[in-house]
Amino acid sequence: MDVRGLTQSFPGPDRNTIEVLAGVDLAVRAGEFAALIGPSGSGKSSLFNVIAGLDRPTGGEVLIDGRAAIGHNDLVSYMPQKDLLFPWRTVVANAALGLEVQGVDRKQARARVAGLFEEFGLGGFERAYPAQLSGGMRQRAALLRTVAMDRPVLLLDEPFGALDSLTRTQMQLWLAGMCERFNWTVLLVTHDIREAVFLADTVHVLSARPATVTARIEVPFGRPRTAATFRLGEFAELEQAVLEALGGQGGQGAEGGQGEGEGEGGNR
Amino acid sequence: MWSRQWRFLWPPTLLVAVLLLAWQGVAALSVRNPQVLPTPGAVLSAGWGQRTVLWQNTMTTLRETLLGFALSLVVSWLLATAMDFSGPIRRAVYPLLVVSQTLPIIVIAPVFVIWFGFGLMPKLLLVALATFFPLAASLSAGFAAADGDAMRLLRSMGASRWQAFVKVRVPGALPYFFTGLRVAITYAVGGAVFAEYAGSINGLGIYIQQMQDGFRTDLVFASVAVIALLSVALFASTFVLERMVTPWRRHDSAQNSTRNSDRSSTRDSERKGQHEWRR
């Protein structure tokens, strides 16, 4: 995935335009796990909406597998901050929603996602309603729904922001394992430096609004990533490096893990 | 099981019993004129004596109520859907909806009789008119309450507007719809009775009028009791219907006990709030 010189602005109050993205460049190789981190309100959501094909930018381009992706909503699958599992659908029906919407026959769609339930630690919960699942399981079901659409790029928007810290750590370990098995191409937005460093191959630091990518930090750890990864000496150094890359712009709210959800950039 | 139902049933039962006793007391000891205020016992025995006639009239009224309500349901779903898809339609129609609710039925009923005669038609229209607004308004609000993020998710999946409507907006609106349904159904029987009152051949409305003219206050009261029972029965049936249509809501209560409550829904916390304040 290649994002080049993306700019975006929205009409603000008093006939001003608010410039949200000021030329964002971002390259993610196939099979790479990229994390995007930035201060609150730095326009991460605006960037996501463009990449997901929901909004048109004022300038720049997005290429996915060499194809122009702007305005196309069939190249990435998007997992929002809230799990957005629909309470009236069973877990398997929720997971199959993306396929159903794309015109896959309902039975076939459900059979296809049901095959993934064991892998996602949801075996036996196919017929349960989301209200019967724990927070971590809901998040796994939401990821299953995202993955089931079988698109080249996964966009994960602070997927663990609403979880308690113990569950979040478990989910990070689990996600690392899943990524190693399936070799997804992932772009993860997070407020959590620790999460970014632990999960990602590259960490991209976004400036305050109007946003540009100010730093690209390679994470040299191999795979698999396990609980032991957290204890590596370089882990703390990398966290420090990301923090400094963020710190130069006085962005508040960038320190690990608050996961504040509201008020991103040009989000209406 | 039974003890739980009893907990819900005893307060209204007790209250009704107290009111009946008070009525009995006032009627028997103070008023002492059955044409002005018959005792509950007299109402019951008079009603029982006329049970065949009452039953026939009740069936007429019930049929008008249900048909009129069905008409109201169809129109309100169609209109709320159109309003959800089109801003101009919404802005054009909504004020008229409000106006429809403010038209006094007492005035409209005779006009409808003049226009449509003594048959079924004016009854259907009046029931629809009386119940239409809460249905359409609650549905419309339910559609509009769909989570914006959920709509974006559907859009990112490539869903059409109609798919998003059917798969997210409609099921999400059902709790609102049932709230509106319960308000509307209580107007429905009254609407039918009013229409009959204004002019008809059969039905509780015209029966009440005839009994009033004959100073049979006991039978007027008996008819009113039947109307009340009918309304309560229809009201209760909405809960049965809701349980059938929204099976997932039964599991909401499981949320409190079986889950680590890291994201309990608003409805959950509301219910907890209720719990704390009950008694």
Is residue B88 in a domain? yes
Separation between Cα atoms, residue A264 and residue A43, nearest integer Å: 6
C-alpha R_g of chain A: 18
Confidence band for B257, pLDDT divided at 50, 70 and 90: very low
* Closest residue on chain A to B260 (Cα): A134
The pLDDT score that the predictor gives to residue A246 is 82
Angle A77-A78-A82 from CA coordinates, rounded to 5°: 150
CA distances from B188 to B54, B68, B180 (A): 19, 8, 12
Distance from CA of A171 to the nearest CA of B (A): 14
Element (H, E) at B186: helix B170-198
Alpha-carbon distance of B173 to B196, in angstroms, equals: 34
Q: Do B168 and A86 touch (CB under 8 A)?
A: yes
Identify the pLDDT of residue B2: 67
Mean pLDDT within B129-138: 93
Domain count within chain B: 1
- B269 CB neighbours in chain A (<8 A) are none
CA distance A134 to chain B (A): 5
Give the neighbor-by-neighbor strand order of the sheet with A17-27.
A17-27, A2-11, A59-64, A67-68
Per-residue pLDDT of chain A (268 residues; tens, 9 = 90+): 888 888 888 887 777 888 888 888 888 888 889 999 888 777 888 888 888 888 888 888 888 888 888 878 888 898 988 889 999 999 999 999 999 999 899 999 999 999 889 988 898 999 999 999 988 899 999 999 999 988 889 999 888 888 888 888 888 998 988 888 888 899 999 888 888 888 889 999 888 888 888 888 888 887 788 887 888 878 888 888 888 878 754 444 444 434 343 333 333 3
Q: Per CB distance under 8 Å, which residues of B are interface residues toward A? A: 147-150, 152-159, 163, 167-168, 171-172, 174, 246, 248-249, 251-252, 254-255, 258-260, 262-263, 265
Please answer yes or no on whether A77 and B157 come within 8 Å at the CB atom: yes
Residue B170 with chain A: CB contacts under 8 Å: none
Predicted confidence (pLDDT) per residue in B26-54, tens digit: 999 988 888 889 999 999 999 999 999 99
Expressed as residue numbers, the domain containing B72 is 35-244
Check whether B69 has a pLDDT greater than 80.
yes
Q: Which of B155, B171, B246 sits opposite A73 (nearest CB)?
A: B155
State the Cα–Cα distance between residues B257 and B54, nearest whole angstrom: 49
B264 domain-assigned: no
ipTM above 0.85, yes or no: no
**DSSP bridge partners of A35:** A188, A203
Nearest CA in chain B to A146: B157
- Whether the per-residue pLDDT at B274 is higher than 80: the answer is no
Out of A76, A78, A102, the one facing B153 most closely (by C-beta) is A78
B72 pLDDT band, cuts 50/70/90, is very high
B157–A97 CB contact, under 8 Å: yes
- In whole numbers, what is the pLDDT of chain B averaged over residues? 87
Contact (CB<8Å) B263/A135: yes
The pLDDT of residue A255: 42
Residue A176 distance to chain B (closest CA, Å): 23
Of A74, A131, A163, the CB nearest to B158: A74
Look at residue B252 in the predicted model and tell me its pLDDT: 65
pLDDT of B228 reads: 94
* CATH code of the domain covering residue B221: 1.10.3720.10
Mean per-residue pLDDT for B113-131? 92
Q: What pLDDT is attached to residue A145?
A: 93
Contact flag A132-B252 (C-beta cutoff 8 Å): no
Residue B157: its H or E element:
none
Q: What is the pLDDT of residue B180?
A: 95
Residue-wise pLDDT tens digits, B183-194 = 999 999 999 999
CB contact under 8 A, A73 and B260: no
Mutation site, B153, B252, B267, interface A, largest A CB count within 10 A: B153
B11 assigned to some structural domain: no
Q: Indicate the pLDDT class of residue B1, thresholds 50, 70 and 90.
A: low
The answer to the question of residue B135 being in a domain is yes
Check A101 against B263: CB less than 8 A apart: no
3-state secondary structure (DSSP) of residue B33: coil
CA distance A34 to A41: 20
Residue B20 in any domain: the answer is no
Side chain identity, residue B178? F
Q: Which domains does chain A have, with CATH numbers?
A: 1-75+187-268 (3.40.50.300)
The answer as to whether B4 is a domain residue is no
Task: pLDDT band for B68, please (50, 70, 90 cuts).
Answer: very high
Whether A261 has its CB under 8 Å from any CB of chain B: the answer is no
Mark yes or no for CB contact B154/A80 under 8 Å: no
Residue B17 lies in a domain: no
Chains A–B, number of C-beta pairs less than 8 Å apart? 84
Please report residues of B whose CB lies closer than 8 A to that of A135: 259-260, 262-263
Query: Does pTM top 0.90 for this prediction?
Result: no
B137 occurs within a structural domain: yes
